Structure 1
């Protein structure tokens, strides 16, 4: 359902239910949450599951962009 709705909204075919999970985990970690705490909250048995959804490295920050001087 998520993929179908995302395509209908022209969001792209990349969106799925795991997109929301990754967004939640990534935002939690960006706001100083720890992987161990999220593992407990989400009741994941393996910490590696949290690492799969951690998308912090995918986003380029404004500070990184401002390093480019023309």
Structure 2
């Protein structure tokens, strides 16, 4: 994966765990539960799966529009 990423010119920080985080986040955003996500990811604990959950990083347009300049 790292060789493919290097060819694309994407940042070095993108790798296997980035894809895993994206998959887990998308699963949870679309109604999946953390226990099922943990099983799919092969995690023994949901705490590990929660480390990959990036839903809290997502900002929606409504939140941005509340900012007054």
TM range (shorter): 0.7 to 0.9
Instruction: Give the deviation of 1:13 after TM superposition.
Output: 1.2
Q: Which aligned segments of 4 or more residues in structure 1 are displaced greater than 6 angstroms?
A: none
Partner of 1:6: 5
Secondary structure of the structure 2 residue equivalent to 1:38: helix
Contact 1:30 1:56 in 2 (8 A): yes
TM-score between both structures, scaled by the size of structure 2: 0.82
Deviations 1:6-41 (A, max 9, x none): 232122111101111000000001111110121222
Contact 1:3 1:14 in 2 (8 A): no
Instruction: Give 5+ residue unaligned stretches, structure 1.
Output: none
TM-score between both structures, scaled by the size of structure 1: 0.81
Partner of 1:59: 58
Instruction: Give the deviation of 1:65 after TM superposition.
Output: 1.2
Instruction: Give 5+ residue unaligned stretches, structure 2.
Output: none
- The two structures, once aligned, show a CA RMSD in angstroms of 1.5
